[in-house]
């Protein structure tokens, strides 16, 4: 059933090029079963593997996953350190497989706050997969949308201060080139699991014209079929980018 569905989806020629997912609901998933929150994060890793597989099968160019926000440091210290350990373990365990599958891994966010050991692991993983030409998998870690826009502005202001560009060169295009996703196609679709309808400081700039999909499913329960269904509804949406419906139809016929 799902193979046929995938073939149809690909034939629609209207799949998102770049998908972002706010993988929320791990803690509640575990607590509902009387387990510790960290068990939810561990169960969530299986769903990450599956989301990567589906994205590869559908030839999606880029998948960006929110793993740890700049605000998540405020959580209890033991949860933060377990998340860091999990991140380290997953990188150790999964990078060879990603590499075999031609996936290019990028970590986006301010990684300078991570331990030296984790930073080295990240650098090695990125380096190993840097020439891969398949899916670009971006893991957002210590990422915040406000931070991203701020760091882009800082880079541009430094260029102004050095006299390399002028203030009028700080355009939307210039900011685009300096935010963390400059290596990626525009963000077409943002999904949040876990039942809340908010962006929680994820890709603020990038989501300006993305389709947003909020699902009540907790991340560890987010299966392949739901992911495919969301892509199917994406394929049917008319994206107008400020134009009228008639203009959009005319541009498709051209
Ligand atoms: C998302 O799940 C994962 C991270 C933020 C690291 P949560 O841990 O936020 O799970 P809930 O929202 O508390 O259920
Ligand atoms: C967003 O989830 C961050 C990640 C999924 C990594 P949160 O659980 O941190 O978001 P809030 O606190 O409910 O807004
Ligand atoms: Mg949450």
Instruction: Please report which ligand is nearest the Cα atom of 43.
Output: 1
pLDDT at 1 over 70: no
pTM beyond 0.85: yes
The rounded distance, in Å, linking the Cα atoms of 9 and 176 is 30
Active site includes 24?
yes
The rounded distance, in Å, linking the Cα atoms of 159 and 167 is 9
pLDDT at 38 over 70: yes
Which pLDDT belongs to residue 252?
Answer: 84
The rounded distance, in Å, linking the Cα atoms of 51 and 228 is 10
Give start and end residues of each alpha helix (H) in 58-76: none
For ligand 1, atom 5, the nearest C-alpha belongs to: 68
The string of pLDDT tens digits covering residues 142-164 is 999 999 999 999 999 999 999 99
The string of pLDDT tens digits covering residues 63-114 is 999 999 999 999 999 999 999 999 999 999 999 999 999 999 999 999 999 9
Which pLDDT belongs to residue 254?
Answer: 77
Q: How far is the CA of 48 from the centre of ligand 2 (A)?
A: 16
Q: Which of 15, 67, 70, 6 lies closest to 185, judged by CA?
A: 15
Q: Would you say the CB of residue 188 lies under 6 angstroms from ligand 1?
A: no
Instruction: Please report which ligand is nearest the Cα atom of 220.
Output: 1
Number of other residues whose CB lies within 10 A of the CB of residue 100: 9
For ligand 2, atom 12, the nearest C-alpha belongs to: 200
Q: Which of 111, 138, 134, 104 lies closest to 20, judged by CA?
A: 138
What is the rounded average pLDDT for all residues in the chain? 97
Which numeric CATH code is attached to 2-253? 3.40.1180.10
Active site includes 72?
yes
Q: Which of 53, 63, 67 lies closest to 101, judged by CA?
A: 53
Q: Would you say the CB of residue 27 lies under 6 angstroms from ligand 1?
A: yes
Q: How far is the CA of 196 from the centre of ligand 3 (A)?
A: 9
């Amino acid at each position: 059933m799902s193979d046929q569905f995938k073939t149809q989806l690909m034939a629609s020629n209207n799949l998102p090029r770049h998908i972002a997912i706010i993988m929320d609901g791990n803690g509640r998933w575990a607590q509902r079963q009387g387990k510790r929150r960290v068990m939810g994060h561990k169960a969530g890793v299986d769903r990450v593997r599956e989301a990567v597989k589906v994205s590869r099968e559908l030839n999606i160019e880029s998948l960006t996953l929110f793993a740890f926000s700049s605000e998540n440091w405020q959580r209890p210290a033991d949860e933060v350190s377990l998340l860091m350990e999990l991140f380290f373990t997953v990188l150790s365990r999964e990078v060879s497989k990603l590499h075999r599958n031609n996936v290019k891994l990028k970590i986006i966010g301010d990684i300078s706050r991570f331990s030296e050991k984790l930073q080295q692991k990240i650098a090695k993983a990125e380096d190993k997969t840097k020439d891969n030409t398949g899916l670009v998998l971006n893991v957002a870690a210590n990422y915040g949308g406000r931070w991203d826009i701020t760091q882009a502005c800082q880079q541009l202001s430094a260029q102004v201060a050095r006299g390399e560009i002028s203030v009028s060169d700080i355009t939307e295009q210039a900011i685009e080139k300096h935010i963390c996703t400059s290596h990626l196609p525009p963000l077409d679709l943002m999904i949040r699991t876990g039942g809340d309808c908010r962006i929680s400081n994820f890709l603020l700039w990038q989501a300006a014209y993305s389709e947003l999909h909020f699902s009540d499913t907790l991340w560890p329960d987010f299966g392949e079929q739901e992911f495919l269904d969301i892509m199917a509804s994406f394929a049917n949406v008319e994206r107008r980018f400020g134009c009228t419906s008639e203009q959009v139809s005319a541009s498709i016929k051209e």
